Structure 1
Amino acid sequence: MMNTFLRHLAKITLAGSIALGVATIAHAEDKIVRIGFQKYGTLILLKTKGQLEEKLKPQGYTVEWTEFPAGPQLLEALNVGSIDFGTTGEAPPIFAQAAGAPLVYVGYEPPAPEAEAILVPQDSPLKTVADLKGKKVALNKGSNVHYLLVKALEKAGLAYTDIEVNFLPPADARAAFEKQAVDAWVIWEPFLAAAEAATGARQLANGSGVVDNHEFYLASRDFLDAHPGVVDTIVASLGEVDTWINANRGDVADQFSPALGIPADVLEVAVERRKYGVKPITPEVVAAQQKIADVFHDLGLIPAAIRIADAVKKPQS
């Protein structure tokens, strides 16, 4: 009888130990902050400086960084739970929200309309956006430049259907552009400045007078709900880096360059075309995003109408 009792007690103890181990692993995983970044913006400097890790370490958190070629790919990772936080331009969160991604807008950078443009080869006969009629134009589907193209065409009196759109990520688009397999390329910084420097490409138009080109910071809803203080720490740290950038413009390109593998003189151009100073989402910014979402819905680019306000972080009470 005693042996049976001891065997039963051992099973209970083993089960409890396994459960505790699983709980411990789960708790440890909860302490990992997974951040997605791209080859631009404040997030990559935050990664380089390491100050977020310093702030979160006393709370037991570690930070994992993953690079993405563009915003749509980054938000797909957020949608499937591979990352918790990231940054994109205006269009990607609209496409992602329309696809049901559980994202939340938690901050934005000032408008930077000159940081995206429609490029053509140096020797191209195309001189204006109106000349794009019937031409092949490359862009990353669902990226911030998608809206630039729509509005630039509209301003030039063309419909979106008047051109042939080729959806290509930046690296493939650059290759197609250099081979002149496409007539134009709609792209953002720092790819924009890099292409201009390397190929002598010309701008048909940039976002000035056409689009705002905001940069947004987004978190997964589950992560924000479970770790609101961590999200606040990330945004506050981004604000500190933005303040440093504005006070040290001459040093920014040198710090970006090793992380990006792009020459500092090229990055100086890209940095000057952007504005820095993260802020909470405002009703005006929500309205601007809603306008973009409505345009995409009208064009059939997203399957259903969405409400941007449903995906905005609520003010703390």
Structure 2
Amino acid sequence: MRTPRTALPRRHRLVTALLTAVALVAVGGVSACGDGSAAAGGDKGPLRIGYQRFGGLSLVKARNAAPDVEWSLFESGPALTEALKAGSIDIGQVGEAPPVFAAAAKIPFSVIGTSAPVPQGEAVLVKDDSGYRTFADLRGRTVALNKGSNVHWLLVRLLAAHKMTLDDINVKYLKPAEGRPAFDNGQVDAWIIWDPYFALAEQPGVRVLADATGLASNREYVLAAPDAVQNRSDDIRAFLRTYRTVTDWGIANPDERARTLAPELKIAQDVTERALLRSAKPLSPVTPAVGDELQAIADGFVALKLVPGPVDIRGRVDGRFNEVFQ
């Protein structure tokens, strides 16, 4: 037989409810105090870094030189700038064309660092038995490249140098992972690509038709989200110092650099070393001359109607971190 429930006196019920409410308020107060302390301490989470499979940032990651940051890998610069647009990264590293396409798309960012020129780090590849001897021989042929990447600007410069236009060739926009099989299988006549994909494709029967020497600087650029520049400048400055230190170490120790980076890139050490010897350069400040160079690239793309204009990329250059690179 069940024992009948005895009703609590009204006053007792009120006291119990009051004590429960006080306990809940106390718990909520502790949580709020914890949140407030974190905010007051400036705990904004890890700095979020976007990087590509090759480049200076890959070496920082491979050496675990910045253990407190959050890394995100991107196949190309345009994909990385989309992450900036989405607000999912704070800093990223790209080539010279992606900032222009991103600015044309109204993606907010600042250019806060660059590298010395790397013209040998991108090239036009053809088959050795193709008979092509100059870029002009590709008139009427199919040329593959990644749209909006550094190699897109190299294409523009090559066309101008040989008094050709986009109408003189068939352009096929392919991501690096798509471009290599298309080139290997003869679906395209030439492939314009950058390291380390360039070095990976340097196999018997493949020839470099032209690189960017005398045509394009092919610099790397460091981009940052405006919110991060405004609110996390100390964190960014500290990371950039690490970035420069690791870059300088790699240049001074090329053999160890290749041994360190090859597992990160998942490619053979000799291929890694070949790519690094021509493509790994010191970091540099963003000077007015660098801004002018970027603006000339933007104006070139606008003139060909490859991006809507006008594009003011010069105004995106922010030199507040220049002392790190000097």
Fold in common (TM above 0.5): yes
2:244 pairs with 239, 243, 248, which one? 239
Tell me the residue number matched to 1:263: 268
Instruction: Choose which of 46, 58, 67 in structure 2 pairs with 1:44.
Output: 58
Distance 2:241 2:82 in 1: 25
Q: Which residue identity is paired with 2:239?
A: I
**1:127-138 correspondence runs (5 A):** 127-138=133-144
SS at match of 1:100: coil
- The answer (yes or no) to whether the contact 1:85–1:218 under 8 Å persists in 2 is yes
Q: What are the residue-to-residue correspondences of 1:225-236 with 2, within 5 Å? A: 225-236=230-241
**Structure 1 vs Structure 2 CA RMSD:** 2.3
Please give the secondary structure, in 1, of the residue aligned with 2:112.
Answer: strand
Q: Output one character per residue of 1:262-308: Cα deviation in whole Å (capped at 9) or x when no partner.
A: 11111222112124211220111110000000111111111221212
CA separation of 1:129/1:30 partners in 2, compared to 1, >3 Å: closer, same or farther?
Answer: same
Once the two structures are TM-superposed, the CA of residue 125 in structure 1 deviates from its matched residue by 2.6
Query: For residues 268 and 314 of structure 1, what CA distance do their matches in structure 2 show?
Result: 32
- Whether 1:33 and 2:39 are equivalent positions in the alignment is no
Give the CA deviation at 1:122.
2.4
What is the aligned partner in structure 1 of residue 293 from structure 2? 288
Q: Are residues 1:103 and 2:109 paired?
A: yes
Distance 1:126 1:25 in 2: 63
Deviation for aligned residue 1:12? 4.2
Q: CA deviation at 1:24?
A: 7.5
Structure 2 alignment gaps of length 5 or more:
1-10
- Name the amino acid aligned to 1:259: E
Kept after mapping to 2: 8 A contact 1:245/1:276: no
- The answer (yes or no) to whether the contact 1:72–1:92 under 8 Å persists in 2 is yes
After superposing the two structures, state which structure 1 stretch, 78-87 or 304-313, moved more: 304-313
Q: 2:73 aligns with which of 67, 72, 75?
A: 67
Confirm or deny: 8 A CA contact 2:50 2:72 kept in the other structure: yes
Match of 1:312 among 312, 317, 322: 317
**How far 1:67 sits from its partner (Å)?**
1.2
3-state secondary structure, aligned to 1:126: coil
- Per the TM alignment, residue 85 of structure 1 is displaced from its structure 2 partner at its CA by 1.0
Residues 1:228 and 1:126: Cα distance change in structure 2 (over 3 Å):
same
Matches within 5 A, 1:67-146: 67-146=73-152
2-structure distance, mates of 1:101, 1:289: 16
CA contact (8 A) 2:65 2:246 kept: no
Query: Aligned pair in 2 of structure 1 residues 181, 64: CA closer, same or farther (>3 Å)?
Result: same
Name the structure 1 match of 2:6.
Answer: none
Cα contact 2:63–2:260 (8 A) shared by 1 = no
Identity %: 40
> Structure 2: which amino acid aligns with 1:302?
V
SS of corresponding position for 2:69: strand
Give the corresponding residue for 2:193: 187
Distance 2:245 2:24 in 1: 53
Shifted more, 151-160 versus 302-311: the winner is 302-311
Work out which of the two has the higher radius of gyration on C-alpha atoms and give 1 or 2.
2
- Report how many aligned residue pairs link the two structures: 308
Please give the secondary structure, in 1, of the residue aligned with 2:58.
Answer: helix
User: Which stretch shows the higher mean deviation, 218-227 or 9-18?
Assistant: 9-18
Question: Residue type of the partner of 2:291?
Answer: V
Please report how far the alpha carbon of residue 200 of structure 1 lies from its aligned counterpart in structure 2 after TM superposition. Answer: 3.2
Supply the distance in 2 between the matched residues of 1:24 and 1:39 (Cα, whole angstroms). Answer: 38
Distance 2:133 2:276 in 1: 26
Q: Match of 2:283, SS?
A: coil
The correspondence for 2:283, drawn from 245, 256, 278, is 278
Matched, 1:250 2:255: yes
Are the aligned partners of 1:37 and 1:66 in contact in 2 as well (CA < 8 Å)? yes
Whether 1:223 aligns to 2:228 is: yes
Instruction: Give 3-state SS (helix, strand or coil) of 1:177's partner.
Output: helix
User: What is the CA–CA distance in structure 2 between the aligned matches of 1:43 and 1:276, rounded to whole Å?
Assistant: 12
Q: Give TM-score scaled by structure 2 length.
A: 0.87
Larger displacement relative to structure 2 (182-191 or 271-280): 271-280
Unaligned 5+ runs, structure 1: 54-61
**In structure 2, distance between residues paired with 1:201 and 1:29:** 51
Q: One-letter code of the match for 2:226? A: R
